[in-house]
Amino acid sequence: MAFAFQPIIDTSVGAPYAHEALVRGPNGESASSILAQVDDANRYHFDQRCRTNAIAQAAALQMSGFLSINFMPNAVYQPEACIRSTLEAAEKYNFSSHRIIFETVEGENIISRRHLVDIFRAYRRFGFQTAIDDFGAGYSGLTLLADFQPDLIKLDMELVRGVDSDPVRQSIVRGVLAMCHDLEIRVIAEGIETLAERNFFADNGVTLMQGYLFAKPAFRAIPSMNARWLVKRHDDRGEAHV
């Protein structure tokens, strides 16, 4: 098992805030081909290997900032046991556990929302950051937020795509941003591909962004950022902005 890494950019400083670990096969095989081999019999061990391997590879690459690891809630039977192996890996590879983000998809077929909330709360007690991925893609997101407020949410790419020219998407996104501001949750705009999409989120106070505009995932490597996203734009007064 190996990983490709894609940066989450903090556009306010022009540098990675974190890198998301994206599972791949040992020779770069797709995530779907690897996940297709996961079943009830091996889900727990697969989830554990993902955590420890991601930490090992991030440490070997001397990754700066945070490491974002996807986890499977249905593979976590006892959060403390999973956390123990994560802490052991962090210590073994000299990677601070306080630089780890655990994220999961809100729409995953979760056996129990209460179980997911318990997992998130356990992670927070041990100093990890938590994130909900693809927020807005499923139906449980708002209910989940009523029970637990993660550190981060990643907006679903379907809300991001073409948002600069779609008034309906703009209204929905602004509503989510206002809610997250009130709940003190940081928002990551995921799947940014155009400067116009970037500019919309920048204009609405979002500084954390991820997508091909900034960098594509790099297999077993820290990707170089695409300088194109630094192209300046101008407001109506002619003032330049990054």
Tokens of 105: 């998809």
Specify if 220 maps to a domain: yes
Which tokens hold the place of 120?
A: 């998130």
> Per the domain annotation, does 203 fall within a domain?
yes
Say yes or no to pLDDT of 239 above 50. no
What total of structural domains would you count in the chain? 1
Q: Nearest-CA neighbor of 7 among 15, 153, 16?
A: 16
- Residue 234, in any domain of the structure: no
pLDDT digits (tens, 9 = 90+) for 202-226: 999 999 999 999 999 999 999 988 8
Q: Looking at 15-29, 59-73, 95-109, which range is the least confident one?
A: 95-109
For 73, the domain range is: 2-227
- Region 76-105: mean pLDDT is 88
Q: Evaluate whether residue 194 is within a structural domain.
A: yes
- 101: nearest Cα among 210, 218, 216, 229: 210
Backbone angles phi, psi at 104, to 5 degrees: -145, 165
Identify whether 237 is part of a domain.
Answer: no
Confidence of residue 82 (pLDDT cuts 50, 70, 90): confident
The CATH number assigned to the domain holding 139 equals 3.20.20.450
Would you say residue 107 has pLDDT above 60?
no
Residue of 131, 162, 157 lying closest to 210 (CA atoms):
157
Statement: residue 77 has pLDDT above 70: no
Determine if residue 111 is left, alpha or beta; phi over 0 gives left, psi from -120 to 50 gives alpha, anything else beta: alpha
Three-class DSSP labels, 54-94:
HHHHHHHCCCCCEEEEECCHHHCCCHHHHHHHHHHHHHHCC
Q: How long, in residues, is the chain?
A: 242
**pLDDT-based confidence at 92, cuts 50/70/90?**
very high
Asked, for residue 242, whether it belongs to a domain, the answer is: no
Q: pTM for this one?
A: 0.90
pLDDT at residue 110 tops 70? no
User: What's the gap between Cα 189 and its chain centre?
Assistant: 10
The answer to whether residue 71 is domain-embedded is yes
Evaluate whether residue 115 is within a structural domain.
yes
Task: Report CA-CA distances (Å) from 191 to 55, 85, 91, 98, 221.
Answer: 24, 31, 33, 26, 20
